[in-house]
Amino acid sequence: MARMKFLCDAERCIECNACVTACKNEHDVPWGINRRRVVTINDGKPGERSVSMACMHCTDPPCAAVCPVDCFYVTADAVVLHSKDLCIGCGYCFYACPFGAPQYPRVGNFGTRGKMDKCTYCAGGPEADGTMAEFEKYGANRLAEGKLPLCSEMCSTKSLLSGDGEIIAQIYKERVVKRGYGSGAWGWMTAYREQITV
């Protein structure tokens, strides 16, 4: 089985937000929920960098550890998924997540959060693959159809890569060798406890 990961090559990200749009469209994500976002550091200054970020599908995921109702599970492809039937919308996964991935629709009074929503690596949820019930709760299940997440597939500069960790790390390494520079895979140290060394 593959160990699925995301890799954002910050040297290539042009902050077009196509990944964000592709994700929203593919999964019919409601207004106010963003499974993926592009953050620009030092915007407008020399040496600014943009990074596309979503759930990194961490090794030993912190969200799953702190969840008071244990609604998370990790698939055979190492994709971190959760059950919206079990989630109580407490918001704890957001405090633990290093990448700000969990999103909550605001429902009811106060700041009450609804069921958590996050990047599924285009792999749906606990419902049967490709069913309407699955789509309504978690969006499209591309992985079950043999396709990779749409955000990275749509990426015009191929900055965002998805797939088996070893393969995308190899692609990144080749790029770094060829062009002679690279700032590393953002978030990998935090998510996977490893960095790509060239």
Instruction: Compare residues 143 and 175 and give the one whose CB is closer to another protein.
Output: 175
Of the residues 86, 144, 154, 171, which one makes contact with another protein according to CB under 8 A = 86
CA–CA dist 197, 70 (Å, integer): 35
Quick check: 107 binds another protein (CB under 8 A)?
Answer: no
Instruction: Compare residues 67 and 168 and give the one whose CB is closer to another protein.
Output: 67
Cβ neighbourhood burial of 11 (10 Å; 0-12, 13-18, 19+) = middle
Closest approach, Cβ 5 to another protein, in A, equals 16
CA–CA dist 110, 1 (Å, integer): 44
Closest approach, Cβ 61 to another protein, in A, equals 10
| CB-based contact 55:187 (threshold 8 Å) | no
| CB-based contact 34:103 (threshold 8 Å) | yes
Of the residues 1, 132, 146, 181, which one makes contact with another protein according to CB under 8 A = 181
CA–CA dist 81, 120 (Å, integer): 6
Instruction: Compare residues 147 and 179 and give the one whose CB is closer to another protein.
Output: 179
Quick check: 2 binds another protein (CB under 8 A)?
Answer: no
CA–CA dist 150, 24 (Å, integer): 10
Of the residues 43, 136, 166, 174, which one makes contact with another protein according to CB under 8 A = 43
Residues binding another protein: what is the number (CB under 8 A)?
A: 58
Residues 55 to 84 in contact with another protein, rule: CB under 8 A: 62, 65-71
Quick check: 163 binds another protein (CB under 8 A)?
Answer: no
Which H or E run contains 189?
Answer: helix 188-192
According to DSSP, the β-strands at 72-74 and 4-8 are unpaired
Question: Which positions lie near another protein, rule CB under 8 A?
Answer: 11, 17, 20, 32-34, 37-43, 46-51, 53, 62, 65-71, 85-92, 94-100, 103, 110-113, 179-184, 186-187, 189-190
